[in-house]
Amino acid sequence: MPRYRITIEYDGTPFAGWQIQADVPTVQGTLTAAIASFSGESVTLQGAGRTDAGVHALEQVAHFDLSKDHDPGTVRDALNAHLRPHPIAVRDAARVGADFDARFSAVRRRYLYRIVNRRPDLALDRLRAVRVPRPLDTDAMHVAAQALIGKHDFTTFRSSDCQAKSPLRTLQRLDVTRNNDLVEVHAEARSFLHNQVRSMVGSLIWVGEGRWAATDLAAALAARDRAACGPVAPPEGLYLVGVDY
């Protein structure tokens, strides 16, 4: 039974997240329906990450099995034909071995959070970034962020609904950069807790606005208490930009 790996790009705005849910549109559900329309088969589609409602992806990865063998280019093009007009695109399809698992084979997930730091409202970047009208000290944000690098108990920065068995995660990268009004936060780890990136970004925004010092962010991490977290940043600024294997 051939296994296919697909790389997917999507606008998360109209979806209630990646994971299939009853009576609401989801990315996984829409893709599963497209696979069924193309192949006539009901499949289990496994994604590398469960993005929340409103979160976007540039390179989400998923896998599924079919009973029939198809050319990967045909799989890609047929899925894209059945996905229209939904804002989902299959960028690539490939055959992989039966031991490949989009979720468990991943060694790193990479996320980007986009902030537009200006007073005027967003026009072209509406629902693609988050506007912060107060001036942000991005150097202070970057310095503070380094306290979160490494293996820590991230209880403070995970949702109270997080189902992960352990709050321990190893954060490999958390960088804050600026290009004119655009502020980007880059986060990398093997895996993340539910709402971890958005929770860290919301707290970093407080640092940038001068509400918190770097020591406050470090203290929030050490507290291991969700109540110590700053605000959770909105979903529309977050992108899954890649998964490494």
Would you please indicate which residues are annotated as catalytic (active-site) residues? Answer: 52
- Amino acid letter, residue 225: D
Angle (CA) 155 212 153, round 5°: 15
The pairing of beta strand 108-116 with beta strand 130-131: parallel
Can you tell me the distance from the alpha carbon of 85 to that of 75, in angstroms, rounded to the nearest whole number?
18
DSSP string covering 92-128: EEEEE-TT--TTTT-SEEEEEEEEE-SSSPPSTTBTT
Q: 103 with 47: CB under 8 angstroms? A: yes
How many beta carbons lie within 10 A of that of residue 46, not counting itself?
Answer: 16
In the numeric block, which tokens belong to residue 198? 């958005």
In the numeric block, which tokens belong to residue 191? 């895996």
- Using only C-alpha atoms, what is the Rg of the chain? 19
Q: 243 with 61: CB under 8 angstroms? A: yes
